[in-house]
Chains A and B, each alone.
Chain A
Amino acid sequence: MARSMCWHCQSEVAGEYFCERCVKVQPLSKEQDYFTCLGLPRLLTIDATGLENKFYEMSRSFHPDFYQTKTDTERTISLGNSALLNTAYRTLKDPIQRAEYLVRLEAGAVKEIRNQPPADLFEEILSLQDDLEEFRAADGQPSADLTALRTKLQTDREALERRQQDMESRLFDLFETWDRLQRQFEPTEAIRAKKESVLKEMRELLSNRTYVRNIINDLVATVG
């Protein structure tokens, strides 16, 4: 735990929310990751109720409502801490965002934005996009072709939704693998290599999932 000085009484603080000597609120370190912020190990399976309780407890410590009568410095700290806490909670609460965040932390890379369809979906998506273009071009003029096209696009959408579900369940399997590896006290070279491959697969899955999700949204918006 990083050691620093209390902004108020200069006594040493070691990551506590409040200085032990003068009881003033301390700013959360900007370098702190969201897991540390919420007092969690870097694991992907999280007990939702436990996380919520921790968030509520910390909100009670930091929320600006409780600093209205305090000094300007304390109010600024409370505002910054609350904003960080809220972002940390929002990110970790959602499993997909949680995984994206962890991959970014561990692998250091920024989230990739995919412009091309995933390889195994390439043909399927190209033909789907052609159909979607055709549907848009028809501009809602009713015809037998259009009705058939709509049905086809709806079937495609259902297929993509199943695809998304498959990717998510694979992702959740990887959550467990990751957590098991992460719990090893003395990671061997083999474990490190395995972790790296899990991260790589998760990154690929997350990026493909986002791509598929966007196509589904597009389909919903156009075809309904």
Chain B
Amino acid sequence: MARIVGIDLGTTNSLIAYMDGKTPTVVPGRNGRTMVPSVVAMTDNGLIVGDAAKEHLVRNPERTIYSVKRFMGKGLADVQSEVPYFPYTLQEQGGVIRIRIGDKSYSPPQISAMILKELKQRAEAHLGESITKAVITVPAYFNDSQRQATKDAGMIAGLEVLRIINEPTAASLAYGLQERTQGTIAVYDLGGGTFDISILKLKNGIFEVLATNGDTHLGGDDLDRTIGDLFAKDIQEQYGIDINLHGDDMQSLRLEAERAKIRLSDDLKTSVTLNLPDGKSQYRRELTRDQLEELTLPLIERSLGPCRLALKDAGLTPADIDEVVLVGGSTRMPLVRQCVEGLFGKPPHSNLNPDEVVALGAAVQADILSGGTTDMLLLDVTPLSLGIETMGGVVSSLIRRNTTIPTSAKEMFTTYVDGQTSVDIHILQGERELARDNRSLARFQLKMPPLPAGVPRIEVTFLIDANGILNVSARDVRTGATQSVAVKPSYGLSDDEVEKMIGESFKFAAEDFKARQLIEARNEAEAILHATKKALGQGAHLLTGDDLAAIKSALTALDGARSTEDHKLIRTRIQDVEKVTHDFAELLMDTSLKEALQNKSLSEMTEPSEKA
């Protein structure tokens, strides 16, 4: 069976992992970093994803998309309060948000697919084989529409999504594999945009989720916003400048807020500097950890409510939890650790890398699906109750939240009027009594045989599969005939739309590939120009006049080729430079080695590697 990879498609960062023998391993990028920022920039030179795209956040805010996960499976009304924070334009079409860039618009699954493709290519380059199958993680508290949107994103990216798995439960698999413990654990997962709590029982390789809860709009993004709002208020008061009117500066402010927050996990105070849009002023201030904690405490406390509910649903008290596992970058904040410890009464477990553990767990689940790992099994639950609207707008519950999946419920339908030929059914997800207070998932029309009222008997089966996704089927009890049910999602792409987007994605793939080759060639040219110039600065005296001239002319040629659109030409020029500098490189190496042997220490010669 072809390899299945595990993907953590995060709000801020995404990762791809695979099973290397019995060890889950995250695929590193060429720069050695394992995280790909979930940022997509639509530049004039084509599509850029990841670290390079992050640079465009400030340069090109209207054309650079970040935190797209917050829009998955949502309508515009759902995110109304957040719209002012995003520099790109949001619209709605057929219940699905569209992100407008120039004269084109993209659905969130399409943007997510671009991130998935980047990850796919990264894994393909690393493993030297084509990747077509994946397990993708989602927040445990994602509803059906959000899960379906994630599956659609995978399909658009050319991936067969074999399983949608919950992030905290994925993390528990990685934790269980490493620690080999038994007992009851709580996974507290505070990510870039979402919060999840899952309570699991680990016994003899079975990972049984007892309860899950969360908030799909609570994460590092919200913390950054609170800090950013403080800066913006300062700037308004001190300089009379409304930073929110300046897309690029707003992005700088957001990134600066994020960096300050990160620094304050280690330091007790930090200073913030920001160039203002008037072009001359500079905003400076100091932020202490105490100030940060006072500012963010209400948000972090918001995560404790879901924790208590999950404990209650599991029928447990904090004392019953043997270990608390922290997941997600935001759990690095000392305040988060304090609050978690306060609730559960024990210090949380922190031997795992909170950024990577979800991707690693997804790789473990992928290995289970491909038959590699057979001793572990995850029994997950559906996070929200499922019901249908009945007369008077009241919800009749079919499947309760925290029910182990897969699960199914049957409901019998009949007619109220003689000769009635159809019944409309409205499916909802949520915990409220009234239909209008819950999330509308889908509607469909059940066909009825034209008979006197009350005679037709159509049995509808609502099945939630192991992905937490709903499947509906119907059967006429009198005749035994099954009927296909065309479910129209309330907040999602139709099958036709997904098909179309898959087609487009292939069409653009060729263009994307060309753009990508050009960008990569340019990046490489830049790196080699920089390195060679630096080397010349150190060792030009070691060269003969002819050699030096040859190198200089090769460099000029490469510099010229760099600004063309021809990636082949750039590659040729790179090779030229490599040819003429080959001997020089060896010469330098010898010299450095000699110097090293004479008196210098090795550490001075090697550059410190970047910390991921």
Q: Which residues of A pack against B, CB within 8 Å?
A: 52, 56, 59-60, 63-66, 68-69, 79-80, 82-83, 86-87, 89-90
CB within 8 Å for A83 and B406 given contacts A56-B204, A64-B466: yes
B369 proximity list for chain A (CB < 8 A): 65, 68-69
CB distance from A61 to the nearest CB of B (A): 11
CA of A83 to CA of B462, assembled, Å: 11
Q: Is the CB–CB distance between B466 and A86 below 8 Å? A: no
Question: A89 contacts which of B163, B203, B404 (Cβ < 8 Å)?
Answer: B404
Q: Is the CB–CB distance between A83 and B408 below 8 Å? A: yes
Check: B333 CB closer than 8 A to any chain A CB: no
Q: Which 4 A-B pairs have the closest CB atoms?
A: A68-B369, A83-B408, A86-B404, A83-B406
CA of A79 to CA of B465, assembled, Å: 7
Check: B279 CB closer than 8 A to any chain A CB: no
Give residues 470-504 of B contacting A (CB, 8 Å): none
Check: B101 CB closer than 8 A to any chain A CB: no
B463 proximity list for chain A (CB < 8 A): 79, 83
CB distance from A91 to the nearest CB of B (A): 11
Q: Is the CB–CB distance between A68 and B408 below 8 Å? A: no
B371 proximity list for chain A (CB < 8 A): 66, 68-69
B162 proximity list for chain A (CB < 8 A): 68
Q: Is the CB–CB distance between B403 and A86 below 8 Å? A: yes
Check: B407 CB closer than 8 A to any chain A CB: yes
The chain B residue sitting closest to A80, CB to CB, is B408
CB within 8 Å for A90 and B204 given contacts A68-B162, A83-B408: no
20 contacts between A and B (CB under 8 A): A52-B203, A59-B379, A63-B379, A65-B365, A65-B368, A65-B369, A65-B377, A66-B368, A66-B371, A66-B374, A68-B162, A68-B370, A69-B1, A79-B465, A80-B408, A82-B406, A82-B466, A86-B403, A86-B406, A87-B407
CA of A87 to CA of B409, assembled, Å: 9
Check: B206 CB closer than 8 A to any chain A CB: yes
A90 proximity list for chain B (CB < 8 A): 403-404
B406 proximity list for chain A (CB < 8 A): 64, 79, 82-83, 86
A59 proximity list for chain B (CB < 8 A): 206, 377, 379
B374 proximity list for chain A (CB < 8 A): 66
| Extra contacts besides A65-B378, A79-B465, A86-B406 (10): CB < 8 Å | A59-B377, A65-B466, A68-B369, A69-B1, A69-B371, A82-B406, A82-B466, A86-B403, A87-B408, A90-B404
CB distance from A134 to the nearest CB of B (A): 23
Check: B455 CB closer than 8 A to any chain A CB: no
CA of A56 to CA of B208, assembled, Å: 9
CA of A106 to CA of B403, assembled, Å: 26
CA of A82 to CA of B204, assembled, Å: 19
Check: B405 CB closer than 8 A to any chain A CB: yes
The number of residue pairs between A and B whose CB atoms lie closer than 8 Å in the complex comes to 56
CA of A56 to CA of B407, assembled, Å: 16
CB distance from A224 to the nearest CB of B (A): 15
The chain B residue sitting closest to A65, CB to CB, is B368
CA of A11 to CA of B466, assembled, Å: 31
The chain B residue sitting closest to A86, CB to CB, is B404
Contact mask B513-541 → A, CB, 8 Å, 1/0?
00000000000000000000000000000
Give residues 403-448 of B contacting A (CB, 8 Å): 403-408
Contact mask B373-384 → A, CB, 8 Å, 1/0?
010011100000
CB distance from B432 to the nearest CB of A (A): 13
CB distance from B467 to the nearest CB of A (A): 9
The chain B residue sitting closest to A84, CB to CB, is B408
Question: A56 contacts which of B163, B203, B370, B405 (Cβ < 8 Å)?
Answer: B203
A79 proximity list for chain B (CB < 8 A): 406, 463, 465-466
CA of A59 to CA of B204, assembled, Å: 13
The chain A residue sitting closest to B463, CB to CB, is A83
CB within 8 Å for A86 and B370 given contacts A65-B377, A65-B466: no
CA of A87 to CA of B461, assembled, Å: 14
CB distance from B133 to the nearest CB of A (A): 9
Question: A63 contacts which of B377, B403, B408 (Cβ < 8 Å)?
Answer: B377
Give residues 190-225 of B contacting A (CB, 8 Å): 203-204, 206, 208
Q: Is the CB–CB distance between B405 and A69 below 8 Å? A: no
B368 proximity list for chain A (CB < 8 A): 65-66
The CB with the most chain A CB atoms within 10 A, among B206, B406, B466, is that of: B406
CB distance from B259 to the nearest CB of A (A): 41
CA of A132 to CA of B208, assembled, Å: 41
The chain B residue sitting closest to A52, CB to CB, is B203
CB distance from A79 to the nearest CB of B (A): 5
A86 proximity list for chain B (CB < 8 A): 403-407
CB distance from B307 to the nearest CB of A (A): 20
A87 proximity list for chain B (CB < 8 A): 407-408
Q: Is the CB–CB distance between A56 and B466 below 8 Å? A: no
CA of A165 to CA of B592, assembled, Å: 84
The chain A residue sitting closest to B408, CB to CB, is A83
B365 proximity list for chain A (CB < 8 A): 65
CB distance from B353 to the nearest CB of A (A): 25
Q: Is the CB–CB distance between B404 and A69 below 8 Å? A: no
CA of A199 to CA of B371, assembled, Å: 47
A82 proximity list for chain B (CB < 8 A): 406, 466
B407 proximity list for chain A (CB < 8 A): 83, 86-87
CA of A66 to CA of B206, assembled, Å: 13
A52 proximity list for chain B (CB < 8 A): 203
